[in-house]
């Protein structure tokens, strides 16, 4: 594995110097994707929101601005991501408006029906057990609340390229993701594509 491959592979669970460099990179490189995905939701100022796979924490900062009277939680399986996200949002953490926890999408340390929205950007294709993780997202959402996430790539060529680069990445066809969401109790499943490289899912639980 060359250095570039090693760098891309830290995306699944950022760790060490390369991982921290990637967190910094993703905070910048994912900005257009994140802004577009966030623009698809009618945010309410007092919402309680969870960002799963929060990475470098820039989306937590955006969510804090979108919900200025609410509370924003982040969770990530990587200790380096948690540390980075906490540092990036230290002011909001001190003020009690932001909490960042170490943990996995398929076993989250949150009580039932806690969130108005759950977001997950550029992370779902790393989750090893999607049925369990989707059920877990459903559990922590309030009834009728929204799960929104970016998922993979529009073209097969682009999907195959990234699957070859990043070992832990497993991109499923859109219809399969929709079936898994339905099986986990989600309805009103919408997908919106932008350019060649982003699909947004929105679903209600
Ligand atoms: C490609 S990064 C994306 C980070 C951020 N969401 C963004 O858009 O910049 C993927 C993040 O998801 C986290 N992750 C991977 N599997 C996870 C899981 N099962 N549960 C929670 N977080 C996970 C990784 O540790 C990493 O921080």
What pLDDT, in 10s, does the model give residues 111-142? 999 999 999 999 999 999 999 999 999 999 99
Q: Would you say the CB of residue 26 lies under 6 angstroms from ligand 1? A: yes
Residue 46 is given by DSSP the state: T
Q: Would you say the CB of residue 104 lies under 6 angstroms from ligand 1? A: yes
Domain count, the chain: 1
Nearest atom, ligand 1, residue 26 CA = 9
pLDDT for the residue 155: 67
Cα 195 to middle of ligand 1, angstroms:
22
pLDDT for the residue 24: 97
Cα 190 to middle of ligand 1, angstroms:
22
H helices of the chain, in order, are: 3-9, 16-29, 31-38, 58-66, 79-88, 90-94, 130-140, 156-165, 174-183
**The pTM is what?**
0.96
Residue 196 clears pLDDT 80, i.e. is over it: no
Contact 7, 21 (CB under 8 A): yes
- Domain boundaries, position 131: 3-204
Residue 195: band (very low, low, confident or very high) from pLDDT cuts 50, 70, 90: confident
Q: At 146, which CATH number?
A: 3.40.50.150
pLDDT for the residue 197: 64
The tokens describing 75, both together, are: 């969770």
% pLDDT > 70, the chain: 97
């Amino acid at each position: 594995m060359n250095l570039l491959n090693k760098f891309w592979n830290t995306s699944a669970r950022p760790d060490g110097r390369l991982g921290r460099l990637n967190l910094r990179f993703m905070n910048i490189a994912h900005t257009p994707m994140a802004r577009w995905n966030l623009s698809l939701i009618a945010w309410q100022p007092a919402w309680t929101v969870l960002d799963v796979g929060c990475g470098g924490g820039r989306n937590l900062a955006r969510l804090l601005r979108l919900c200025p009277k609410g509370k924003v939680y982040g969770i990530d399986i990587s200790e380096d991501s948690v540390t980075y996200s906490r540092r990036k949002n230290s002011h909001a953490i001190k003020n009690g408006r932001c909490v960042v926890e170490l943990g996995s999408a398929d076993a989250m340390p949150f009580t039932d029906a806690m969130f108005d929205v759950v977001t997950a950007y550029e992370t779902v294709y790393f989750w090893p057990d999607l049925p369990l993780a989707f059920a877990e997202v459903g559990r922590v959402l309030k009834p009728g609340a929204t799960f929104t996430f970016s998922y993979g790539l529009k073209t097969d060529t682009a999907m195959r390229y990234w699957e070859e680069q990043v070992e832990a990445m497993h991109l499923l066809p859109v219809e399969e993701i929709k079936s898994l969401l339905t099986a986990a109790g989600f309805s009103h499943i919408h997908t919106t594509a932008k350019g060649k490289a982003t699909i947004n899912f929105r679903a209600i639980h």
